[in-house]
Amino acid sequence: MYESAGDLRPAPLPDPVPVSAVPAPSRGGLRAAALLEVILCSGYPTQIALVLILTRLGMTLRTPSGGLTPNFIFTLSLLDAAFVVGLVVLFLRARGERVRDVLLGQRPVLREALIGVVLIPAVFFVVVLILALVMWLVPGLHNVPHNPFEAMVQTPRDAIVFSIVVMIAGGLREEIQRGFIVHRFDQHLGGAAVGVAAYSVAFGMGHLEQGWDAVLATGSLGAVWGVIYLVRGSIIAPLVSHSGFNLLQLIKFVALR
């Protein structure tokens, strides 16, 4: 529309209606969201839900003698790994973060993997030292005479399936969990060191089925792998070290049968 016949300039448009800016999330809101993400990715909620689902589907957690059922544990472990890794990817992308930047960092993957291989004997030494100190100072913490997971390896098929489980559900899932949880603590929940300590306690308690000495040893290993992630800025070295440690433990179980 024009103001007059002699004025061909268009009439000025009305001022735009101001749009209220979306408020930035509060610090408390970010902390609450980060805490919820950490809890969901800790493995406890997903495993509880999967145990309920699998038992409702007719699978049995325990054998008549009270041991763990191999098929149940294998299925639970692999499904939980898929759910937890999926949640980590979802939460990182939802905040505009790149999975590679948070979990893999900028270091060459092959070099990090070689560092992980070199670290395998070191983590074995840590476990042997801790267990020896426990038996010397507080032998009562060795309250489970035999590792219940040893009984699940009865056949060559069990050994093959279990090796896949310890590599994926052990090394891969748990180091992705650790890297993500430490990252969230570093951002919103008190710092990376607090994250390493908190997840190491949770990681150790996840092995309570194997005894209190195992809780102490695995919690300490979790702290070692967490510190390596902080120093290297990548989960690759801890992942390789963790997977190699688990695999050698399995080989030991089979060899001693």
Q: List the chain domain ranges.
A: 32-255
Q: pLDDT 10s digit of each residue in the chain, 257 long?
A: 444 445 555 556 555 555 445 566 788 889 999 999 999 999 899 999 999 999 999 999 888 877 778 889 899 999 999 999 999 999 999 999 999 999 999 999 999 999 999 999 999 999 999 999 999 999 999 888 877 777 777 777 778 888 888 889 889 999 999 999 999 999 999 999 999 999 999 999 988 888 899 999 999 999 999 999 999 999 999 999 999 999 888 887 777 66
Q: What is the pLDDT of residue 156?
A: 76
Instruction: Tell me the β-bridge partners of 2.
Output: 10
Q: How far is 166 from 135, CA to CA, in rounded Å?
A: 26
Q: What is the pLDDT of residue 210?
A: 87
- pTM for the whole structure: 0.85
Instruction: Tell me the β-bridge partners of 62.
Output: 68
Cβ partners under 8 Å of residue 10, min gap 6: 1, 2
Q: How far is 236 from 230, CA to CA, in rounded Å?
A: 12
